Amino acid sequence: MTDPVSFTAATPRYVLPNLFTAQAQKEFTINEAHARLDILLHPAVEGEANVPPVTPPDGATWIVGSTPSGDWADNAGDLASWQAGNWVFVSPQPGMQVFDQAARVTARFDGVWQYAATVSAPSGGTTEDTEARAAITGLIAALVSAGILPAV
Protein backbone atom coordinates (compact mmCIF):
# COMPACT_ATOMS: atom_id res chain seq x y z
CA MET A 1 0.00 0.00 0.00
CA THR A 2 1.32 3.44 -0.88
CA ASP A 3 1.74 6.18 1.67
CA PRO A 4 -0.75 9.07 1.52
CA VAL A 5 0.50 12.32 0.03
CA SER A 6 1.53 14.84 2.66
CA PHE A 7 0.92 18.48 1.69
CA THR A 8 2.75 21.52 2.97
CA ALA A 9 0.96 24.74 3.96
CA ALA A 10 1.27 26.17 0.44
CA THR A 11 2.02 25.16 -3.13
CA PRO A 12 5.70 25.39 -4.09
CA ARG A 13 5.53 27.66 -7.15
CA TYR A 14 3.03 30.41 -6.35
CA VAL A 15 2.45 29.86 -2.62
CA LEU A 16 -1.26 29.12 -3.04
CA PRO A 17 -2.51 28.15 0.43
CA ASN A 18 -3.60 24.54 0.96
CA LEU A 19 -6.54 23.41 3.09
CA PHE A 20 -6.16 20.98 5.95
CA THR A 21 -8.60 18.60 7.60
CA ALA A 22 -10.65 20.31 10.31
CA GLN A 23 -9.15 23.69 9.45
CA ALA A 24 -11.08 26.62 10.92
CA GLN A 25 -12.14 29.52 8.69
CA LYS A 26 -11.37 27.73 5.42
CA GLU A 27 -12.97 30.58 3.49
CA PHE A 28 -9.95 32.81 4.21
CA THR A 29 -7.58 30.23 2.78
CA ILE A 30 -9.76 29.65 -0.27
CA ASN A 31 -10.27 33.39 -0.86
CA GLU A 32 -6.50 34.02 -0.71
CA ALA A 33 -5.91 31.24 -3.24
CA HIS A 34 -8.61 32.67 -5.52
CA ALA A 35 -7.08 36.15 -5.27
CA ARG A 36 -3.66 34.80 -6.31
CA LEU A 37 -5.16 32.77 -9.15
CA ASP A 38 -7.00 35.88 -10.36
CA ILE A 39 -3.60 37.56 -10.80
CA LEU A 40 -1.94 34.56 -12.47
CA LEU A 41 -4.59 33.54 -15.00
CA HIS A 42 -4.12 35.46 -18.24
CA PRO A 43 -1.88 38.02 -16.55
CA ALA A 44 -2.13 41.58 -17.76
CA VAL A 45 -0.70 44.53 -15.85
CA GLU A 46 -1.44 48.24 -15.92
CA GLY A 47 2.29 48.94 -16.16
CA GLU A 48 5.39 49.06 -14.00
CA ALA A 49 5.69 51.45 -11.05
CA ASN A 50 7.60 51.98 -7.81
CA VAL A 51 4.81 53.86 -6.01
CA PRO A 52 1.35 52.34 -5.54
CA PRO A 53 -1.49 54.33 -7.09
CA VAL A 54 -3.68 56.31 -4.69
CA THR A 55 -7.05 54.98 -5.87
CA PRO A 56 -6.52 51.79 -7.87
CA PRO A 57 -9.51 50.02 -9.39
CA ASP A 58 -10.34 46.63 -7.91
CA GLY A 59 -8.43 43.87 -9.70
CA ALA A 60 -5.83 46.16 -11.29
CA THR A 61 -2.31 44.73 -11.23
CA TRP A 62 1.15 46.30 -11.62
CA ILE A 63 4.73 45.11 -11.86
CA VAL A 64 6.46 46.51 -8.79
CA GLY A 65 9.58 48.41 -9.91
CA SER A 66 13.13 47.98 -8.63
CA THR A 67 12.88 50.70 -5.94
CA PRO A 68 9.40 50.35 -4.44
CA SER A 69 8.03 52.49 -1.65
CA GLY A 70 4.95 52.73 0.53
CA ASP A 71 2.76 49.63 0.61
CA TRP A 72 4.97 48.07 -2.08
CA ALA A 73 8.25 48.32 -0.10
CA ASP A 74 10.15 44.99 -0.02
CA ASN A 75 8.21 43.63 -3.03
CA ALA A 76 10.49 44.65 -5.92
CA GLY A 77 9.70 42.69 -9.08
CA ASP A 78 6.49 41.17 -7.70
CA LEU A 79 3.05 41.53 -9.20
CA ALA A 80 0.88 43.77 -6.99
CA SER A 81 -2.88 43.49 -7.39
CA TRP A 82 -5.48 45.62 -5.61
CA GLN A 83 -8.21 43.27 -4.40
CA ALA A 84 -10.92 43.85 -1.79
CA GLY A 85 -9.18 46.94 -0.41
CA ASN A 86 -5.76 45.26 0.01
CA TRP A 87 -2.60 44.67 -1.99
CA VAL A 88 -2.02 41.03 -2.91
CA PHE A 89 1.53 40.21 -4.03
CA VAL A 90 2.67 37.32 -6.20
CA SER A 91 6.33 36.56 -6.82
CA PRO A 92 6.92 35.75 -10.50
CA GLN A 93 8.65 32.58 -11.62
CA PRO A 94 11.23 32.38 -14.44
CA GLY A 95 9.51 32.23 -17.82
CA MET A 96 6.35 33.99 -16.65
CA GLN A 97 4.95 36.51 -19.13
CA VAL A 98 2.51 39.37 -18.66
CA PHE A 99 1.03 41.88 -21.07
CA ASP A 100 1.97 45.43 -20.04
CA GLN A 101 -1.02 47.53 -21.09
CA ALA A 102 0.81 50.86 -20.71
CA ALA A 103 3.74 49.80 -22.91
CA ARG A 104 1.47 47.67 -25.17
CA VAL A 105 4.05 44.86 -25.11
CA THR A 106 4.73 41.56 -23.37
CA ALA A 107 7.18 41.48 -20.46
CA ARG A 108 8.99 38.25 -19.55
CA PHE A 109 10.44 37.39 -16.14
CA ASP A 110 13.89 35.81 -15.97
CA GLY A 111 15.12 36.95 -12.57
CA VAL A 112 14.11 40.49 -13.59
CA TRP A 113 11.34 41.73 -15.87
CA GLN A 114 12.58 42.09 -19.44
CA TYR A 115 11.00 43.94 -22.34
CA ALA A 116 11.94 43.50 -25.98
CA ALA A 117 14.06 46.28 -27.42
CA THR A 118 12.67 48.62 -30.06
CA VAL A 119 13.63 47.51 -33.58
CA SER A 120 14.12 50.10 -36.31
CA ALA A 121 13.36 49.58 -39.95
CA PRO A 122 16.46 48.88 -42.06
CA SER A 123 18.31 51.83 -43.54
CA GLY A 124 21.70 52.71 -44.96
CA GLY A 125 24.19 50.45 -46.68
CA THR A 126 25.85 50.56 -50.08
CA THR A 127 23.38 48.20 -51.76
CA GLU A 128 19.68 48.73 -51.21
CA ASP A 129 17.16 45.92 -51.71
CA THR A 130 13.77 47.64 -51.50
CA GLU A 131 11.80 44.38 -51.52
CA ALA A 132 13.83 42.94 -48.62
CA ARG A 133 13.49 46.20 -46.68
CA ALA A 134 9.73 46.22 -47.27
CA ALA A 135 9.50 42.62 -46.04
CA ILE A 136 11.55 43.38 -42.91
CA THR A 137 9.49 46.51 -42.20
CA GLY A 138 6.33 44.38 -42.54
CA LEU A 139 7.69 41.80 -40.11
CA ILE A 140 8.56 44.50 -37.57
CA ALA A 141 5.05 45.96 -37.91
CA ALA A 142 3.49 42.51 -37.38
CA LEU A 143 5.60 41.89 -34.24
CA VAL A 144 4.66 45.33 -32.87
CA SER A 145 0.99 44.67 -33.60
CA ALA A 146 1.20 41.32 -31.78
CA GLY A 147 2.68 43.01 -28.69
CA ILE A 148 5.97 41.15 -29.02
CA LEU A 149 8.00 44.27 -29.86
CA PRO A 150 7.38 47.79 -28.57
CA ALA A 151 6.23 50.48 -31.00
CA VAL A 152 9.02 52.48 -32.64
Summarize pLDDT for 61-119 with one digit per residue, the tens.
999 999 999 999 999 999 999 988 999 999 999 999 999 999 888 999 999 999 988 88
Q: What is the domain partition of the chain in residue ranges?
A: 42-112, 116-152
What is residue 11's three-state secondary structure?
coil
Between CA 42 and CA 70 the distance in angstroms is 27
What DSSP element (H or E) covers 86?
strand 86-90
Query: Which pLDDT band, with edges at 50, 70 and 90, does 7 fall under?
Result: low
pLDDT above 70 coverage of the chain, percent: 95
What is the overall mean pLDDT for the chain?
Answer: 86
Please say whether the beta carbons of 105 and 152 come within 8 A.
no
Residue 36 is predicted with a pLDDT of 80
More confident: 45 or 29 = 45
Residue 147 is predicted with a pLDDT of 77
Q: What are phi and psi of 114, to 5 degrees?
A: -125, 140
- Checking if the pLDDT of 46 tops 80, the result is yes
Q: Are strands 79-83 and 113-115 parallel, antiparallel or unpaired?
A: unpaired
